Amino acid sequence: MKILALDTSGPNCSVAVIDENKVIANFNLNIGTTHSQILLPLVDELNKFSNLTLNDIDAFACSIGPGSFTGLRIGIATIKGFAISLNKPVISVPSLVGLAYNVPTFNGIVCTVLDAKNDNVYSALFNVNTNPEMIGDYITDTIDCLVDELKKYNKRILFVGDGAVSFKERFENEFGENALFMPHHLNEQTAISIAKAALDKANQNEIDTVDNLHPLYLRKSQAERMLDENAKNCNK
């Protein structure tokens, strides 16, 4: 089964094709150019170098967030277009789950964490033996609340994601030798990990429909939060 995956949830614009046995091809660009400008050219180059066409793809996958509001909409709209035009299945993968696939295996808790700014985080916890297994629900809260949650486990913790970079000193101070970190390049959200997660979902027959493919924001956009705040002030 060949899966073409996109990740446009962060600054890295990433595309990849994999099958059950290998990564066939992948491209990643983080050059400050908007995803809308480079995503389709990257897909074209991917197909050219892998000697594939979109018709050769069995399923399309993308990250659904949390992440950049604009980036997510670009990736999801692109995948929907491919799937509808070719009548192929789609598979959605949350960004925090994709990051867990950056970890091959770990004896302890894997904490995927994204910096949501102003000392807030998006996070999820996993056991990673072969395939990542999520523990509990997503965490959308302050860094203090995440630290308090992690202290309940009393285990080694492997941090992965841009939040692992932003809050590294805090994690080291709180957990000492039990705080471990992935190499810098493995903190990036990539299409390879999205594709691997999608392949596992496909093997478990967890296929989405185009109509149900929506962003997973976990929190409102800044504009929406400001609008809510203004509405509250007007009602006082």
Give the model confidence (pLDDT) of 56-100 as tens digits: 999 999 999 999 999 999 999 999 999 999 999 999 999 999 999
- Domain membership of residue 206 (yes or no) is yes
Q: What is the pLDDT of residue 21?
A: 92
Q: Residue 15: which domain range? A: 3-95+189-226
pTM score of the predicted model: 0.91
Q: How many CB atoms lie within 10 A of CB 134?
A: 16
- Domain membership of residue 236 (yes or no) is no
Q: Do 24 and 48 belong to one domain?
A: yes
Q: Do 37 and 63 belong to one domain?
A: yes
Q: In what order do the strands lie in the sheet with 23-29?
A: 23-29, 13-18, 3-7, 59-63, 90-93
Please state the domain count of the chain: 2
200-215 burial, b at 16+ Cβ within 10 Å, e below that, comes to bbbeeeeebebeebeb
Q: Do 206 and 140 belong to one domain?
A: no
- Domain membership of residue 232 (yes or no) is no
Q: Do 193 and 83 belong to one domain?
A: yes
Domain boundary among 165, 181, 197: 181
Q: What is the pLDDT of residue 188?
A: 93
Among the listed residues 137, 111, 113, the one whose alpha carbon sits nearest the alpha carbon of residue 126? 111
Q: Do 163 and 194 belong to one domain?
A: no
Q: Do 175 and 193 belong to one domain?
A: no
Q: What is the pLDDT of residue 236?
A: 54
Peptide bond into 66 cis (omega under 30): yes
Specify burial of residue 94 (Cβ count, 10 A radius: 0-12, 13-18, 19+). buried
CATH code for position 159? 3.30.420.200
- Domain membership of residue 231 (yes or no) is no
- In one-letter notation, the amino acid at residue 184 is H
Mark the ranges of the chain whose per-residue pLDDT is less than 50.
223-228, 230-233
Helix (H, G, I), strand (E, B) or coil at 224: helix
